[in-house]
Structure 1
Amino acid sequence: MSWNDFHQRQQALAETLDSARRDLSAAFDTVPTPFRDTGELLAALQHKWMQQLTGRVEVALDDTEDAPHDDRVKAVTMAWRHTVNANPGLRAALDVHSDDPTLAEATAREHRMLAIAAGLAEEHEPAQDITRVGRAFLKLLRATPEPGERARPSGLRKLIPSL
């Protein structure tokens, strides 16, 4: 990929996210050049999300390592929330397309990364189990309000069957 291609892709992603902020339902009506289809565009958006999330998780874990109480779950939770707050359009665009098969493996990798980073699973465990733990952890993150936010009506009862 040339620098021109890279910049063209970055510009197309920025335009898509800008469009998603204005009208999420219409943001994917047309696929911008240089992307061939919605799947390729979604894969690029997922990659962008993972770059942001992974960087924040790594920094949070480094900061937690030096803390007196090694709370990896809290560190990963805060990193995920900071990433969502810094990229609301990106997260919303991916959430709207969460059932797209193109995102299945990348989403599973994200779930595994979250589970392992939070210390809820070990790398040597079966990938399917790690993915399941990460998916449950993410559901819990989404269901639990941020400090100062009112509780949402979902809660743990919806998570228990998925474990």
Structure 2
Amino acid sequence: MSWNTYYQRKHAIAEVLDNARRDPRSALDTIPNPFTGAGELLAALHYKWMQQLNGRVEVALADTEHSPHGDRVEAVTTAWRRTAATNPALRDVLEHHAEHPVLRAANAQQHRMLALAAGLAEQHEDEHDIARVGQAFLHLLRATPAQAEERSRPGVLRKLIPSR
């Protein structure tokens, strides 16, 4: 990819996210150049999401390793919520188009990463099982309001996840 193409893509993604702030459902009504279709654009948007999420998860896990009371589930939860809070338009577009074939595979990858990072699954397990665990974790994370969790004792989400 040339620098010219890189900047065109960057500008196009910014334009789509600006449109998504106004109306996430119609953000992909017009596919800007240099993208050739919704699938290619959604893949780029998901890549942007995963870059930010992976970075926050890695930092959170590194901090957890150095904390005497570190909890990987809480670290991953906080990282996901901070990434979502920082990128609401991006999250809205990706959630609105979650059933697109490109995003189904990408979301399964995200689910596996979340399950493994939170310590809810192991690398040697079946990848479909890992993805299901990650998907359940993400549903639980979304269903537990962050405000209620912060007001209560630490580890509320952790208590909702059965131990092995």
For structure 1, the residue ranges without an aligned partner over 5 or more in a row are: 150-163
Percent identical pairs in the alignment equals: 63
Q: TM-score, normalised by structure 2?
A: 0.89
**Equivalent in the alignment of 1:80:** 80
Compare relative contact order (CA 8 Å, sep 6+) and give the higher one, 1 or 2. Answer: 2
- Cα separation, 1, equivalents of 2:70 and 2:133: 20
**Equivalent in the alignment of 1:93:** 93
- Cα separation, 1, equivalents of 2:140 and 2:26: 29
The Cα shift of 1:147 comes to 2.2
| Deviations, residues 64-97 of structure 1 (Å, cap 9, x unaligned) | 0000013000000000000000000000000000
For structure 2, the residue ranges without an aligned partner over 5 or more in a row are: 150-164
**Equivalent in the alignment of 1:20:** 20
The count of residues paired between Structure 1 and Structure 2 equals: 152
**Equivalent in the alignment of 2:3:** 3
- Cα separation, 2, equivalents of 1:46 and 1:123: 23
- Cα separation, 2, equivalents of 1:25 and 1:44: 17
**Equivalent in the alignment of 1:130:** 130
Structure 1 stretches of 4+ with a deviation exceeding 2 A read none
| SS of equivalent to 1:98 | coil
| SS of equivalent to 2:146 | coil
Whichever structure has more helix as a proportion of its residues is 2
The Cα shift of 1:148 comes to 4.7
- Cα separation, 1, equivalents of 2:75 and 2:47: 22
Q: TM-score, normalised by structure 1?
A: 0.90
> Are 1:70 and 2:74 matched, yes or no?
no
